[in-house]
Amino acid sequence: MATRQVLFITNSGITAYLQHGHRLERLDFFEPGTSGLGRFEAFLEDQAPLLTYILADLVEEEFRIDVVPHAMGRDRAAILKRHMRRLFRGTTLTHAEVIGRVSGQRHKDEILFSALTNGELPDMWLPVMLKHQVPIAGIYSLPLLTADLLRKMKHRIEDALVLTEGQDGGLRQSFFHKGQLKFSRLSPMPQLTDAEYAEYVHEEIGKTKRYLSNLRLLKPDVLLEVHLLSGGTQLDALLEMKARKGLDHYDMIDLNSFARRFGYRGTIERHFADELMAYHVAAKHPSNHYALPQHRRFYFTQVTRTGLQAASIVLAAGAALWAGINGADGILHSKEAGAALSATQDARARFDQANSLIPNADASPDDVEAAVHIAQYLMTQREQPDGMLGNIGQTLQNHNSLSIDSLEWFVSRDPNARKPATAGDNQQVMDAMEDDGANDGITEQFQIALITGRIEFFDGNYRVAHQRISEFAAELVTRSGIQDVEIISLPLNIDPKSSVAGGLGQDAKTADARFSVRVVRRGNHESL
């Protein structure tokens, strides 16, 4: 379904094309004057409002290159507008393109100004279109769009001349320097034979070159690359002339094969480029050149309306989807709630039954559990000295020469403890029981005994005395539960850091052979 049309306007009239995908259909041609205008009006009246591109290939199109101060945004627009008003006084259909910075002048822009000075378009054709509310996307300059053709050509040197011929227009010659349009000229094309045609084109190219030299756009002795878009017998004649005259810098391009590069799938019957250019403008949808906002207001309205309709569809679809998801969630939650309620009834019955099975008690289960557990805990923490005293007593039976004078027994979580931290003070007993090892996470307990004793019937032989104490300690450590036995002091202090005194004979008094031992036993646990 066609949604776009191109109105190709020349000095001979308007040709209407309809776009069908990658093809164009030539609908009609409307000549200037009352008859053509009437038919054009009838044509517009009959059709639904189609997105319309107006492509102009008119003799009355002027190009000027000028330099303006560099600016951006609204300032640039104001400068260009003022400049265009001064350059082209009789028309409002103007256009400006920044084509680069002026070399050596950072704050100067080089601008290509152009304008359609033909009065027929704004005075005759546009009012009819606006009357029929044609959505005009833009008014486009064929020479300006020719730059797009050049980009697809084998472009070798900086200066290039592109030639196209219009069916109702004439021979269009556009000059480019470094890909930027500098000059364009439309000359009428008389009825000629193929041989005359080639010679005529060659002559016209010569005229244009001379004109470009006069304008100093083309430097003397600089090669100009010429690209001719043509087809049919005319192309053959041009190729024959190229070969005959040795015009190596002439690039003859077949229109149909060239149009394929733009995606055009129709067939161009003759050597005119109208169809290609019309298709290009409709397919590419370039930025507008000449149309004023009032010319495009039906286009903007259509775009806005389409946007609103699309937004409405998206909104409705989104809302429907969202509501659908919510609805599905709601149904799912409803089913889950039903299942949970059903399970609740079953759970309530089991709960009631379990409650009825709890025996009557005058204490809460939690308190019962806590009290029993605490009692178990306290009993497992309690130590009794019977194991330690039994170990010591059994060992002493094998060492009759040793006598115990005192025994201090205490419980500690530190196996290296050398004295009870608690003895004699009840508050200290409590504090030590609460703090002992709690901060270190130590749970194992040790029984520690500090034994002091002496050698019975000591005869002054320290070596034997020491040996007996060592033997006692060595046997004690082998007893069940004993972890360590440490001899703290011996009858004779043989530590190199201390002094020793004594004697032999009747005057010498035999000293007591006292010793002390520290015994560590792993804690024993009891249960309730």
Which positions from 449 through 468 interact with other proteins, judged by CB under 8 A?
A: 454
Q: Which of 102, 196, 267, 351 binds other proteins (CB under 8 A)?
A: 351
- Is there binding between residue 320 and other proteins (CB under 8 A)? yes
Q: How far apart are CA 154 and CA 352, in angstroms?
A: 93
Asked if 297 touches other proteins (CB under 8 A), the answer is yes
Q: Is 316 in the site for other proteins (CB under 8 A)?
A: yes
DSSP 420-471: -S-TT-HHHHHHHHHHTTGGGT----EEEEEEEEEETT--S-HHHHHHHHHH
Nearest to 77 by CA among 98, 61, 48: 98
Size of the chain in residues: 528
363 touching other proteins, by CB under 8 A: yes
Interacting residue with other proteins among 267, 344, 483, 493 (CB under 8 A):
344
> Per CB under 8 A, does 260 bind other proteins?
no
CA 133 – CA 277 distance, rounded (Å): 25
Q: How far is CA 93 from CA 41, 130, 209, 400, in A?
A: 22, 16, 28, 134
Is 95 near other proteins (CB under 8 A)? yes
434 lines the binding site for other proteins (CB under 8 A) = yes
Query: How far is C-alpha 168 from the chain's CA centre?
Result: 54
**Looking at 59, 192, 389, 492, which residue binds other proteins (CB under 8 A)?**
389
User: Whole-angstrom Cα distance, residue 432 to residue 438?
Assistant: 10
Closest CA to 522 of 424, 454, 449, 434: 449
- Give the binding range for other proteins (CB under 8 A) out of 153-161, 205-213, 214-222, 351-359: 351-359
Least separation in angstroms between residue 372's CB and other proteins is: 5
Query: Judged by CB under 8 A, which stretch of 5-13, 17-25, 228-236, 378-386 contacts other proteins?
Result: 378-386
Per CB under 8 A, the list member of 354, 500, 501, 504 interacting with other proteins is 354
Stretch that binds other proteins, among 145-153, 195-203, 252-260, 340-348 (CB under 8 A): 340-348
Cα–Cα dist 218/369, whole Å: 109
Question: By 3-state DSSP, what share of the chain in percent is helix, strand and coil, each rounded to 5?
Answer: 40, 25, 35
Give the other-Cβ count within 10 Å of 311's Cβ.
10
- 393 interacts with other proteins by CB under 8 A: yes
Q: Please give the Cα distance from 242 to 221 (Å, whole number).
A: 20
Bridge-partner residues for 210, per DSSP? none
Q: Is 193 in the site for other proteins (CB under 8 A)?
A: no
Angstrom distance (rounded) from CA 99 to CA 114: 13
Region of 11-19, 101-109, 379-387, 491-499 interacting with other proteins (CB under 8 A): 379-387
Interaction residues for other proteins, span 103-142 (CB under 8 A): 133
Tell me which amino acid residue 107 is.
H
Q: Is 443 in the site for other proteins (CB under 8 A)?
A: yes
**What DSSP state is assigned to residue 513?**
-
Tell me: does residue 370 bind other proteins (CB under 8 A). Answer: yes
Q: Which of residues 267-296 bind other proteins (CB under 8 A)?
A: 288, 292-294, 296
Q: Is 187 left (phi over 0), alpha (psi -120 to 50) or beta?
A: beta
Which residues inside 199-258 make contact with other proteins, applying CB under 8 A?
none
- The DSSP secondary-structure symbol of 286 reads P
Nearer to other proteins among residue 193 and residue 342 (C-beta): 342
399 binds other proteins (CB under 8 A): no
| 15 near other proteins, judged by CB under 8 A | no
The neighbour count for residue 299, using CB atoms within 10 Å, is 21
Q: Which is nearer to other proteins, 183 or 410 (CB)?
A: 410
CB of 353 to other proteins, least distance (A): 9
If binding is defined by CB under 8 A, does position 195 make contact with other proteins?
no
Q: Does 488 bind other proteins (CB under 8 A)?
A: no
Q: Of 315, 488, 494, 511, which lies in the binding site for other proteins, with binding defined by CB under 8 A?
A: 315
Is residue 21 involved in binding other proteins (CB under 8 A)? no
Minimum distance of other proteins from residue 343's CB (angstroms): 5
Of 371 and 488, nearer to other proteins (C-beta) is 371
Q: Which is nearer to other proteins, 38 or 330 (CB)?
A: 330
Q: In DSSP terms, which residues pair with 19 in a beta bridge?
A: 4, 24
348 forms part of the interface with other proteins (CB under 8 A): yes
| Angle in degrees, CA 315, 321, 324, rounded to 5 | 135
| Choice from 69, 127, 263, 327 touching other proteins (CB under 8 A) | 327
Strand 159-165 relative to strand 171-177, pairing: antiparallel
Whether residue 238 contacts residue 230, with contact meaning beta carbons closer than 8 Å, is answered with: yes
Looking at 386, 498, 506, 509, which residue binds other proteins (CB under 8 A)?
386
